[in-house]
Structure 1
Amino acid sequence: MPQTAPVPKGGQKSASRTPAFARVIPHNSLNYSDPFHWMHLAIRDFIAAPMVSLFYGFCFTVASVAIWAAVFIQGTHLVILPSLVVFMLAGPFLATGLYDVSWQLERGKRPNLFHSIRAIRRNGVSEWGFAVLLAVMMIFWMRVAAMIHALYPINQDAHIEQFLPFLSLGTLFGLLFTVSVFSFSAFSIPVMMERRVDIMTAISTSVSAVYHNAGVMVVWALIISACVVVGFATAGVGMLVIMPMLGYATWHGYIRTIKTKRPRRFE
């Protein structure tokens, strides 16, 4: 959000402006119990807005079922990664609608589906840019994974030592990619939605908050991973409830973590 330069002596306002680009919004220190509290609040929000929650959950469920259907029809798991690129493009926008539901509840309002859909346009340029960034990162990971897979031994009965280069590099790059994506995206979308800031400010704020609360964020990442695994293990049906709850929990995590302007009206 742009900051106006100080008014010079003499009473005349300077025409120049100092853009607040790629700044870091201050954040709080977290406790290890916080992620579980966010999930508790998410359950409350889901119960308070069941129909709107199920609408967004249905969208995520359709996407998950489509991935499983693509694997079944194609007879290969290789279609999963391309499908996840599409998922990453659509996911941030669906999550924005969920954040708005929690925001409406915070203000004591009855959540409205159309209001939450309109929230997707609140900072559309930055959010689209962020979605494209995630998709590009996923495509990059697909190419790296393909190169690492070349190290996989041809002989399936090979000794474990022959698998070590593949396992070591795969684990290393997979961990780096996962940490990077999680750090970038942990709080970026809520920041962009509530503050209407640029992409770099949102990412810088998210990365800083994750870095300074690393232990707590590991717990939060494990909770997210466990929920997503359950969602896919149920052939996507579990996403009907899991994804709305993760969206609500992320919003409450943002409110607890980032020193934000609480809460202000947005229509």
Structure 2
Amino acid sequence: MPTSQPIDKNQEFARCLESNQISALAPFHWLSLAFKDIIRAPMLSLIYGLVFSIIPAFIMWLVFQSGTHLVILPASVAFALIGPAFAAGLYDVAWELEKGHKPTLMHSLKSMFRNPAGEWGFAILLMVIMIVWMRLAALIHALYPNVPNPTFEQLQAFLALGSIVGGVLMLCVFAISAFTPQIMMERRVDIMTAVVSSVHAVKTNAPAMFVWGMTIVTLVIIGFLTGAAGFIVIMPLLAYASWHGYIAIIKTKKPRGYE
């Protein structure tokens, strides 16, 4: 009778990686490290910053062309949803700097194919969520008062439901995307392991994640207030800081050899 083979934990599906507990103010330390990364890799940061600034610039152009402010909320949420999946190149830059290497554009572009099944699968997941949000936004729009210059009282139902649905969706997406791309890039694990580990890390460090979430929202608002020009710096800053947050929170069995 054949004996059962021990399970290789590295091949387990949807396992949960352990997390460290950090200070609620740790995100500000991540931002300070991110500023240093921008200074150390200015050209790569500028290139990616310019690319990422195009998306919010298009959103603002869409608002101008449509002549209505109603597309701002769903479009902004859509931008926030797909952003984490396409920041892989910036994560690679921060990773190379931490290892003491000189980051290059080609190496960062190749990082998008380091774990193609997981990384692109996650991008598709976020795209699906984005489409669901756009459909929900269209349904919520039915509550918008069909009168010129509606009063705040007339807008209450529309604003309340839109805020609740958008808030719940953003909270869920934040939990699953906070560290998922970084985990899949470094560990090359399956998408469910990355998602489960990200949710666990967010739950374990709720105070710090609240501060980090509010920081992201604040910087994104600043980016839009500057006519999307601010995203040239904001997007690399957030991506690098997210990488440092990942390094600080997600445990490894052996020391990485860099901090």
Calculate the TM-score normalised by the size of structure 1.
Answer: 0.85
- Contact 1:92–1:127, Cα closer than 8 Å, also in 2: no
Task: Please show how residues 99-114 of structure 1 align to structure 2 within 5 Å.
Answer: 99-114=91-106
Taking a change above 3 Å as real, the CA distance of residues 29 and 84 of structure 1, as seen in their structure-2 partners, is closer
**1:236 shift after superposition:** 1.0
Report the AA paired with residue 256 of structure 2: P
**Is 2:105 the partner of 1:117?**
no
SS of the residue corresponding to residue 143 of structure 2 reads coil
> Could you say which residue in structure 1 is the equivalent of 2:251?
259
CA contact (8 A) 2:34 2:241 kept: yes
1:221 matched residue in structure 2: 213
Residue 96 of structure 2 aligns with an amino acid whose one-letter code is Q
Counterpart for residue 59 of structure 1: 51
Q: Are 2:9 and 1:21 aligned?
A: no
> Aligned partners of 2:139 and 2:191: how far apart in 1?
30
1:169–1:68: structure 2 CA closer, same or farther, 3 Å change rule?
A: closer
Larger radius of gyration: 1
Deviation at 1:216, TM superposition (A): 1.2
CA contact (8 A) 1:45 1:248 kept: yes
For the residues of structure 1 that align with 2:164 and 2:70, how far apart are their CA atoms? 21
Task: Say which SS state the counterpart of residue 87 (structure 2) adopts.
Answer: helix
> Which residue identity does 2:193 align to in structure 1?
T
Alpha-carbon distance between aligned partners in 2 of 1:250 and 1:228, rounded to the nearest angstrom: 14
> CA separation in 2, counterparts of 1:258 and 1:42?
18
1:95 to partner: Cα distance: 1.1
Letter of the aligned partner of 1:250 in structure 2? S
Give secondary structure in 2 for the equivalent of 1:150.
helix
2:189 aligned residue (197, 201, 212): 197
Per the alignment, residue 3 of structure 1 pairs with none
Conservation of the 8 A alpha-carbon contact between 2:56 and 2:79 = no
Paired residues for 1:82-97 under 5 Å: 85=78, 88-89=81-82, 91-92=83-84, 94-97=86-89
Letter in 2 for 1:195: R
Equivalent in the alignment of 1:174: 166
* Aligned: 1:165 with 2:157: yes
Q: Which amino acid aligns with 1:181?
A: V
RMSD (Å), alpha carbons: 2.6
Deviation at 1:151, TM superposition (A): 2.3
| Uncovered stretches (5+) of structure 2, i.e. residues with no partner | none
Instruction: Give the match for residue 206 of structure 1.
Output: 198
Give 5+ residue unaligned stretches, structure 1. Answer: 1-6
> Using the alignment, how far apart are the partners of 2:156 and 2:65 within structure 1?
33
Matches for 1:5-16 after TM superposition, within 5 Å: 14=5
Tell me whether 1:35 sits opposite 2:45 in the alignment: no
* TM-score for both structures, normalised by structure 2: 0.87
> Contact between 2:89 and 2:112, CA under 8 Å: does it hold in 1?
yes
Please say if residues 93 and 120 of structure 1, whose CA atoms lie closer than 8 Å, have aligned partners that are also in contact: no
Give the length in aligned residue pairs. 253
Say whether the 8 Å CA contact 2:77–2:166 is kept in structure 1.
no
Residues 256-265 or 228-237, more deviating: 256-265
Kept after mapping to 2: 8 A contact 1:61/1:237: yes
Pairing 1:62-81 to 2, within 5 Å after superposition = 62-77=54-69, 81=74
